[in-house]
Amino acid sequence: MKTYTSLVRKTDEKIGLFHKELMALSDDLADHPEVGGQEYRTTEKMTALLREKGFTVTYPFAGLETAYKAVFGNNDHKYKIALLAEYDALPELGHACGHCLSGSISILAGIALSALQDDLDVDIHIIGTPDEEYNGGKPKMIRTGAFDDYDMAMMIHLYDANQVYTKLRALDTYTYYFHGKAAHASAAPWDGHNAFNACQLFFHAIDMLRQHVKTDIQIHGIIRNPGEAPNIVPEEVSAELYIRGFDRPYLNQVNKMIDDCAAGAAIATQTTWEKKATAERYDNLLILPFGNALLAETYEEMGLTLNGNPEELFGSSDCGNVSFVCPVFHPTLQVVDKGVPIHTREFADAMKTDRAHKALATGAGIICRHVIKMLADEENLKKLKTEFEEKKA
């Protein structure tokens, strides 16, 4: 029987063998960023490399033009693991969230783990998941069954600290529309109903609400079209909001409170209102303490200090949605100095440094070791599945 050490050595050899090739891929993606839903060149590059390494690729996949699934071998083993690859960039900022590197980490880990399919009786699937930053590709993929039947899924997020999990907030994105009546603002203002005033009052009402919701709730928004000219009573004004919280049921309650703010603002200004979802709903991440404890052992084993606080603000991701379908691990790996935030030009500039290139191999090593720990001992996987079912209930 193969030992943990021998299995790790096998994947480390593969990581060393293909590291430079994946480093070149990550750098190329950093140089050619593509925003969510438009990652055509990116996915062509990724899927071409995977085919070359012996993976069977389905592309497009799960109803999305820039999603893919890559499977190594005959897909006939006892276990199935999904490695999630993200690769969309941000407008203007490029890969300021590090997806060029994190997606490459998942691919490198998948290539390395393919060497252990028979040893661990596992099928390795690399799932390309587009449009994480805004519209949410993963919820759409979930509805097609793309993440069904996996024993676990995993990816690594780049960050300014090492953490075994991230406490993701659930996120809802809505646009509120206020409908008024245009009129000359000087000659006949009494004939108008001011949609901009309604929107202003809506934001004031939200500000009054903030002091009466739980501390994890975040509400932030912008006004899209405040009006056409000062002498025209604004007829149509919209506001886009992001509403976040750690607990999905409570976030749903907050949404109703915000609807009341809109209704009250409309009544006060003699306007009407409606709202539409602007993007997919993101769920919070299910935290799995047993699995995270094993992951902490891996970080220690690799000489990585856990120097972040997972309870601090992080943001939202559609990985949270997947975590209610199968067990998901979403740790972070430090690639910049402490205090350099994601979604900044500084973070984007860090993606082609020696530190980032080293993190590529380190991240793949973390994923490989965690998968080996979970599958080499069946008791570990049983405990994980039990914990997952309890947390999901």
Q: How many CB atoms lie within 10 A of CB 46?
A: 25
SS3 371: helix
Q: Report whether CATH 3.10.20.30 matches the domain 170-277.
A: no
What are the boundaries of each domain within the chain?
4-168+282-392, 170-277
pLDDT at position 313: 73
Query: What are the beta bridge partners of residue 61?
Result: 64
Q: How far is CA 165 from CA 27, 60, 289, 332, 333, in A?
A: 26, 30, 9, 7, 10
Q: Which CATH superfamily is domain 4-168+282-392 in?
A: Zn peptidases (3.40.630.10)
Nearest to 103 by CA among 141, 47, 59, 62: 47
- Give the dihedral sign, CA 102/105/107/110: negative
Spatial separation of the C-alpha atoms in residues 62 and 318, rounded to whole Å: 15
The strands making up 236-245's β-sheet, listed across from edge to edge, are 218-223, 236-245, 170-179, 272-277
DSSP H or E segment with residue 326: none
pLDDT tens digit at each of 393 positions of the chain: 589 999 999 999 999 999 999 999 999 999 999 999 999 999 999 999 999 999 999 999 999 999 999 999 999 999 999 999 999 999 999 999 999 999 999 999 999 999 999 999 999 999 999 999 988 999 999 999 999 999 999 999 999 999 999 999 999 999 999 999 999 999 999 999 999 999 999 999 999 999 999 999 999 999 999 988 999 999 999 999 999 999 899 999 999 999 999 999 999 999 999 999 999 999 999 999 999 999 999 999 999 999 999 988 788 999 999 999 999 999 999 999 999 999 999 999 999 999 999 999 999 999 999 999 999 999 999 999 999 999 987
pLDDT at position 315: 85
- Are 102 and 129 in contact by the 8 Å Cβ rule? The answer is no
